[in-house]
Structure 1
Amino acid sequence: MSTHPPAAAWQLVCRVHDIPVLGARRVARARGLDVALFRTDAEGVFALLDHCPHKGGPLSQGIVFGTQVACPLHNWSIGLCDGQAAAPDKGCTPKFAVKVEDGAVYLDAHELANLATEFTRPRAGPARSAAAA
């Protein structure tokens, strides 16, 4: 029995060649942080929330090696297969189901719309109250 969602649940997001080898591409969402798509040198494609579990760094800007990505902020290694931080670090970033078929990359439409939408990117700069806006 397949653990993947039914065919109708898959949403086309890009082509494999749109993702740089040993790099990433971001997929914007209506709510929540972007999803980062990663491509390994072995042509594996993985999808994680673009958010390091340590300090929220953008994993899409990290360096891909093997089946891990190094966060650009503090060099934490995050597993592309499961979103887990490598020991001795602890933490996990949400992973998304991904399917590659005939060179096209698909994400689960339900996950894309609903998974981990509560995460937001930290804002840099001086604090500003809502009244001053």
Structure 2
Amino acid sequence: MGPVAHLAVDAVAAGVAPGTDFSDPGVADATTTVVTAVTGYGVHRMQVPTLTETTAGDPDLTAVQRAARKRLTDFIQRVGRLPTSDRLPKPEPYRSDSRRRWPGRTPRPTKPWRAPPGAPMARACTA
């Protein structure tokens, strides 16, 4: 078995397969890690929310879910240490373009929002 086939087997062993429960601890504004493994049985793609943001003792996760997340994290770290081609760019963290200034455009000044006079700031909801 070649090195690529070993990676696919290791990915499935790390939980990149249907039925693995990684859970979703519900951390707001957290990243989602996507891992794809192509095997003889097809393409397996796992999307794991908050993989890097949760801690080992997170109370929102069961012991089985924490173990699954640990296996996947270890696999990702092992893959990250593999030698790569010198022709490929080095990985960089994602940077949002939302604050980038576009050439030729002047940003609009920001103004604080004010409610119209007499407008209620909040309404109570009743069932």
Question: Which TM-score bucket, shorter chain as reference?
Answer: under 0.3
Give the alignment's TM-score, normalised by structure 1. 0.22
Give the alignment's TM-score, normalised by structure 2. 0.22
Larger radius of gyration: 2
Give the structure with the larger helix fraction: 2
Give the structure with the larger strand fraction: 1
Higher relative contact order, chain-length normalized (CA < 8 Å, sep 6+): 1
